[in-house]
Amino acid sequence: MEKFTKVTGIAAPMPLVNIDTDMIIPKGFLKTIKRTGLGVHAFDEMRYDRQGNEIPDFVLNKPQYRKAEILVAGDNFGCGSSREHAPWALADFGIKVIISTSFADIFFNNSFKNGMLPIVLPQEQVDILMQDAERGANARMTVDLENQEITTSDGHVIPFDVDPFKKHCLLNGLDDIGLTLEKATSIDSFESQAAQSRPWV
């Protein structure tokens, strides 16, 4: 997993509340077990009409937000079913940070495991960031994980909280496999001892 330290990029405003995982990636795209290739289908039913044409009014179809790396969203983001394809689709689109007043627990934890940083803030601070995002491509926001700060395009700084263990994993690019491999020496030692003491296993 790629290390996450600091992101400076375009923030897309998505003030809808209760954006569920089916809205993020519709069930028709859940057949794959690959983490790549889903970005084109993120928010599929909101991005495209029935003929597959882009809907110009959808925020991520607007020229100024096509390369957004930060999403400022409404309350209860990622609710619904526990499909891991939802963070896969967002990450593949290029989203690295999602800011909201609350997240569904499973989506929240899956985001960290897929290299994204979900940030929970009070409504008044989300409102400030939403207004900044609405300025378009010229308003670039910075999210500094190490110092736990968000800086708006006009220099306003908003601190945020993050679980220390999840922060460690993101800063060091450690997913579940990476965490396991950190213990590779101990695992090898245990397996060697087990093979000697129980050769019949």
Q: Which residues of 11-36 are buried (b: 16+ CB within 10 A; e: fewer)?
A: bbbbeeeebbbbbbbbeebbeeeeee
Tell me the pLDDT tens digit for each residue of 57-107: 999 999 999 999 999 999 999 999 888 999 999 999 999 999 999 999 999
Q: Are 32 and 38 in contact (CB under 8 A)?
A: yes
- Model confidence at 126: pLDDT above 90: yes
Q: Are 128 and 152 in contact (CB under 8 A)?
A: yes
Confidence of residue 188 (pLDDT cuts 50, 70, 90): low
Greatest pairwise CA separation for the chain in angstroms: 68
pLDDT the model gives residue 193:
72
Give the list of residues 6+ apart from residue 2 with CB closer than 8 angstroms, or none.
115, 173
107: nearest Cα among 121, 125, 120: 120
pLDDT the model gives residue 108:
97
Confidence of residue 153 (pLDDT cuts 50, 70, 90): very high
Paired tokens of 165 = 């263990």
Q: Which residues of 91-124 are buried (b: 16+ CB within 10 A; e: fewer)?
A: bbbbbbbbbbbbbbebbbbbbbbbbbbbbbbeee
> Mean pLDDT over residues 5-24, rounded?
96
- Model confidence at 201: pLDDT above 90: no
Q: Are 34 and 43 in contact (CB under 8 A)?
A: no
Give the list of residues 6+ apart from residue 70 with CB closer than 8 angstroms, or none.
7, 9, 10, 11, 12, 95, 96, 97, 98, 99, 133, 141, 143
Q: Go through the domains of the chain in sequence order and give each one's CATH number.
A: 6-197 (3.20.19.10)
Q: What is the mean pLDDT of the chain?
A: 91
- Model confidence at 160: pLDDT above 70: yes
pLDDT the model gives residue 111:
96
- Model confidence at 133: pLDDT above 70: yes
pLDDT the model gives residue 65:
96
Helix (H, G, I), strand (E, B) or coil at 164: helix
pLDDT the model gives residue 187:
64
Please name the residue that has the structure tokens 């979900």.
Answer: 118
